[in-house]
Each structure stands twice: as structure tokens, then as C-alpha cells.
Structure 1
Amino acid sequence: MEQPLYEEHPVMFAAHPLLFLISLALIPVYGLGLLILLSWWLQCLGTTVTVTTQRTVVRKGILAKYTNEVYHEHVRNIRVGQSILQRLFGVGLVEIASAGSADHEIAVADLPRANEIKAIVDRYRTSGAVGALGFR
């Protein structure tokens, strides 16, 4: 039975603290910073990553919706990218490629606990492959 193990939205401040502070400073300039922060917040709110025991699902959009999923047994490669500041704040970029694609099928930036996603997928893609062969 499929069970959710991780569900998060991208984060704003922890991923780009300098950009966040600059946007705050730009609020008095015709509300420009407020527009930047609102747009950024809606983008983060409209993106959800869910990792279950069987698959990774990305849902994007507030009005229009886009969903992409990759089953762990089909995962060919997982990449986690983090700048120095992102490592300090525990966020990063997660890219997942499956055997049926030449490029990554899932790519989401600014996710909290990005390495946890990799660990979950690694654990369930190997246990799924072993289980499919009939060995334990």
C-alpha cells in the first residue's frame, strides 16, 4: 500500500535570503518588492512535491494544473544541487530522471530537506527492484 513519506512546497527565505531581503527593501519603491514577493509566494504555494513509498509526484499551478510523476522502480538518476547558503539552510534542487527519458522528468528547486528526498527514493527504488526479482 502506498504511503506518503514527504510532502513540501519550495521555500522562499531559506533558499534565497539575499533576494528575499532585497525584495523587502524594494517595497517602498512603488510596491515593486511586494509584487516580487507575492509572485514568488504564489509560485511556491502552487508547487507541491510528494514522495511516497512508490513514486515521486510534482504538482504545479494554482489555476492551471500540471502534474508529473515518476515511479521509484523506474528512477535512473537523482541529482541534488545546493549552493553554500542552501546547504546552510538545508534546501536544494532535486532532479529525478527515469529510464524512459533522456533528461530529468522532475526538477524542483528550493526544496527543504532535499537530501531526504534522495534517501527516500534510493531506499524504495532498490527495495522495489529486489522485491520485483523475488529476493529479500
Structure 2
Amino acid sequence: MSEPYVQSPAMVKNRPILFVLCLLLIPFFGLGLAILVIWYLQCKATVVRVSDGEIMLEKGLLSKDRTELKLSNIRSTKLVQSFGQRIFGTGDVQVFTAGDSPELVASGMPKPQELRQLLKGG
């Protein structure tokens, strides 16, 4: 089973201003460091995988929440990028199968155009 896309959300590139604020808060009782550790764990605990015929979004460190969709069931995709996300090459990809609300939302993903192209090709 080949996996052409396996990524976790980008931490610094997705929210550079928050990162700088956390660095500035480190001298204040280590508050910034605590925020950075929690933020890092949240990013690493989220993974998007596109493999042969399906996409899977897995969230969670101790408990897991998995959403799997067959690529053949995808009706449309939507890429949302703020100005800062466009500069740093990240974005939010929404995947629709039926209805008006997205079935899967991958926020802060690096190379979102690559992910969207893989989903369109399925």
C-alpha cells in the first residue's frame, strides 16, 4: 500500500505570530513554553494519510479519532488559505462527500495544493 501524502499540520508556518508570542511569554513563569509543548503535541497527534483509494484523518494522542473516506466518494474539495498561510505554504483542506458541510477538515496542512490534487485525482 503506497502512501503518497502523510503529513501533520504545520506548527510555526501555520501560525507564526502565535509562535513569536509564545517565545515572548517564556520568561513569564514558563507560560510560553507550556503553550508551545501543548501546541506541538496537538500538531503531532494529527495525521492526514492518502493511500490507495482512501483518505484518513487521525487525531489524538492517547485516544484516537479516525475519519476515513473512499476517494471515489469525494464529491468536491475546498482549499482555504489566509494571506499568511499562502506566504508560508500551508492551508485548510475541506472534503465534501454529500451535503453542504464537509466530512473531513484538515487544518494547517503543509503543501495543501498537493493534497487537493491527490484527492481530485481519485
Report the TM-score range of the alignment, normalised by the length of the smaller protein.
over 0.9
Distance 1:22 1:56 in 2: 34
1:38-67 per-residue CA deviation (whole Å, 9 max, x = no partner) reads: 111010010000012311101110100110
- Give % identity: 34
Letter in 2 for 1:7: V
1:95-135 per-residue CA deviation (whole Å, 9 max, x = no partner) reads: 11113x542111121100011111011011xxxxxxxxxxx
Residue aligning to 1:49: 48
| Secondary structure in structure 1 of the residue aligned to 2:5 | strand
Distance 2:61 2:42 in 1: 8
> Aligned-residue CA RMSD in angstroms?
1.1
Letter in 2 for 1:107: V
User: What TM-score, normalized by structure 2, do the two folds share?
Assistant: 0.95
Runs (4+) off by over 3 Å: none
Which one has a bigger Cα radius of gyration? 1
User: What TM-score, normalized by structure 1, do the two folds share?
Assistant: 0.85
| Secondary structure in structure 2 of the residue aligned to 1:4 | coil
Q: Does 1:118 align with 2:116?
A: yes
Structure 2: 5+ residue runs without aligned partners? none
Structure 1: 5+ residue runs without aligned partners? 125-136
Residue aligning to 1:26: 25
